[in-house]
Amino acid sequence: MEELEEYEYRPKNVKEIFIEMKNTAELMVDLAYSSVLFNEEDIAEEVLELEEYLDLLNYHLTVHAVLAARNPRDAEKITSILQMAHAIDDVSNAAADLAKMVLEGVELHPVIREAIMESEEVIGRFIVAPHSVLVGKTLEELDLASNTGVWLIAVRRGKRWIFAPDGDFKILANDVLIGRGTQTSIDYLKELARGIMKVVGNE
Amino acid sequence: MEELEEYEYRPKNVKEIFIEMKNTAELMVDLAYSSVLFNEEDIAEEVLELEEYLDLLNYHLTVHAVLAARNPRDAEKITSILQMAHAIDDVSNAAADLAKMVLEGVELHPVIREAIMESEEVIGRFIVAPHSVLVGKTLEELDLASNTGVWLIAVRRGKRWIFAPDGDFKILANDVLIGRGTQTSIDYLKELARGIMKVVGNE
């Protein structure tokens, strides 16, 4: 599977592992809510894969941390990293629990989807029209988070999902974007995706 | 205490309670990272107060949910709400664990603060200069999340903290804002707060 290769563990230092754990847990929460909202099993499965990846990161963090302690003062500081990693792991487990509800086909109360759509940070789905200003641009060029207030979580291209797309990712016509933001910013990106608005941010 | 009044429980329906739980848990995670990053005990204490409030919401949600079940199909759907609420509660507990590290004065490894500052979603602190374009504007007028990509978490005014400020909140000179966003959006809001940039978003 393409995704698994992407998550293969490459040796990192404690800081890099820690940053990756934080980013992964945040992505998992966003994806978990998306999987519930859109009843998307593929997204839910990705959450579970990320959970395994996070466990791997946590393991390597622990090994690094234990090796680094040289004296009691070191040990206290290093323990603080492990405590933090534990809290991040708890968040990722909660996200996995949400994703499992989707995979187990639990019949969800309609209130759940309404609540996800009406909370402060809303999740939106955007279909990119062929004449949208987004087409052919990379995420780095667009800088959607700063220019629209929408944080891109995942993209579906045909039957394929791309999770946490990076700056080099180029948007194509008919891509389906999933992102998080305020209702205003979601509405704005919808107009950009539909080709109604033609100017992104402060261009 | 002023904060406690704000959190007094008013009767709500299941959807309203659920939305409030989701928003509260998200705010708690943001505040928990902020308390760690800036070593702010006041913020950490707020996280613990929000945890109590979330427990109260969870209790009322359970009471409502149990009362609402009329038949086995109802019961399955309603159980899905309780499962989801449980996951949200797990997230809030993880946030509380982070906040407790600050309150217990655990000596934090420098890597933790570096990692929070270098992850995908960065937390920033902004001091509002008297000549900043932000001064005298309400959050609704500014719509910072959509116009700058920064999500405002808290404001310190003198010795007082305002958490999750709402749309009517008016920014004054010397307010200290704490917000979350990408590095680019954080840098942009910094320039606005300092009075270097004079135009907000698509004005």
The pLDDT value recorded for residue A70 is: 85
Give the residue from B193, B167, B195, B78 showing the smallest Cα distance to A108: B78
> In terms of DSSP H, where are the helices of chain A?
2-6, 14-38, 41-68, 72-103, 110-118, 139-142, 144-148, 183-194
Question: Residue B84: which of A98, A147, A201 has the nearest Cβ?
Answer: A98
- Residue A159: alpha-carbon gap to chain centroid: 19
pLDDT (tens digit, 9 = 90+) per residue, A153-203?
999 999 999 999 999 999 999 999 999 999 999 999 999 999 998 878 755
Chain B nearest-CA distance from A201, in A, is: 6
Between CA A175 and CA B193 the distance in angstroms is 36
Give the residue from B131, B32, B142 showing the smallest Cα distance to B91: B32
- Put simply, the answer to whether A148 touches B149 (Cβ < 8 Å) is yes
Query: Which CATH number describes the domain made up of B2-103?
Result: 1.20.58.220
The pLDDT value recorded for residue A2 is: 43
Please report the ipTM that was assigned to this predicted complex.
0.91
Strands (E), chain B: 122-127, 151-157, 160-163, 176-181
Q: How far apart are the first and last CA of chain B?
A: 39
CATH fold of A120-194: Alpha-Beta Plaits (3.30.70)
Q: For residue A76, which residues of chain B lie inside 8 Å, CB to CB?
A: 106-107
pLDDT (tens digit, 9 = 90+) per residue, A39-87?
999 999 999 999 999 999 999 999 988 888 888 888 888 999 999 999 9
- Put simply, the answer to whether B22 touches A116 (Cβ < 8 Å) is yes
Chain A nearest-CA distance from B202, in A, is: 6
pTM of the model: 0.92
- Put simply, the answer to whether A80 touches B101 (Cβ < 8 Å) is yes
pLDDT band at B11 (very low <50, low <70, confident <90, very high): low
Domains in chain A: boundaries: 2-103, 120-194
Two domains, one topology: B2-103 and B120-194: no
Q: For residue B101, which residues of chain A lie inside 8 Å, CB to CB?
A: 80, 83-84
Between CA B48 and CA B32 the distance in angstroms is 9
Neighbouring-strand partners of residue A77: none
pLDDT (tens digit, 9 = 90+) per residue, B34-49?
999 999 999 999 999 9
